[in-house]
Chains A and B, each alone.
Chain A
């Protein structure tokens, strides 16, 4: 069974940095696109970033472009989201989610989420 497990969340001051990890089990990253989606407290879902499973191409929401970097370590089957210049509005639960094979954006397996709080 495919599973994802996020870690790395925590409390950080505005302007700080944090690196989230997403460990996969039950499948290998090869061929599967992985996305990050976040959810601010009491709010809806917001797509953040993705990395293509076939090309390695990365994509970002405008709200995080230039501040966040998505990457993957195929040997460890782990995905990362490096977050810099964090803002209060980045406070959210961050989910990593796997896309259906052959698609980049239909998300069929989600992790349980990791909470990022940006506050002074």
Chain B
């Protein structure tokens, strides 16, 4: 089973600042990576798949990059609605579609 490791566990950022989240796979997954975010008390929401393809309706301040084992989600200028927990998910070696443990983006 592919293990997904996210870092940092918590990221403290001021509104308007840039946030960079990392996700590492225990083996190569090509570009088969998705990012979700989850606000408190809500279901997760898909942001990006294919490592860098934004879902329709997701603002351009969200961007994804990477391939193989190293991936990054960048939020260029954090808005109040972006403070949430972010999960990466690999779907190359599926099933299971393993998720990372999450990165919490909180207000600094």
Interface residues of A (CB under 8 A from B): 35, 37, 44-47, 50, 59-62, 95, 97, 100, 103-108, 110-113
Distance between Cα atoms of A37 and B46 in the complex (Å): 14
Q: For residues 77 through 108 of chain B, which have their beta carbon under 8 Å from a beta carbon of chain A?
A: 87, 89, 91, 94-102
Best-buried of B43, B55, B96, B99 by chain A (most CB within 10 Å): B43
B94 pairs with A105, CB closer than 8 A: yes
Closest to A107 in B: B46
Q: Say whether chain B's binding surface is mostly helix, strand, loop, or mixed.
A: loop
CA A59 to CA B1, docked complex, whole Å? 14
The distance from the CB of A11 to the nearest CB of chain B, in whole angstroms, is 20
Asked if B75 CB lies within 8 Å of chain A CBs, one says no
Rounded to whole angstroms, the CA-CA distance of A105 and B90 in the bound complex is: 9
Q: Residue B44 contacts which of A61, A106, A110 (CB distance < 8 angstroms)?
A: A110
- Tell me whether B61 is interfacial, beta carbon within 8 Å: no
Q: Does B34 contact A (CB under 8 A)?
A: yes
Query: Apart from A45-B87, A107-B34, what 5 extra A-B contacts exist at CB < 8 Å?
Result: A35-B97, A37-B44, A61-B96, A106-B49, A113-B43
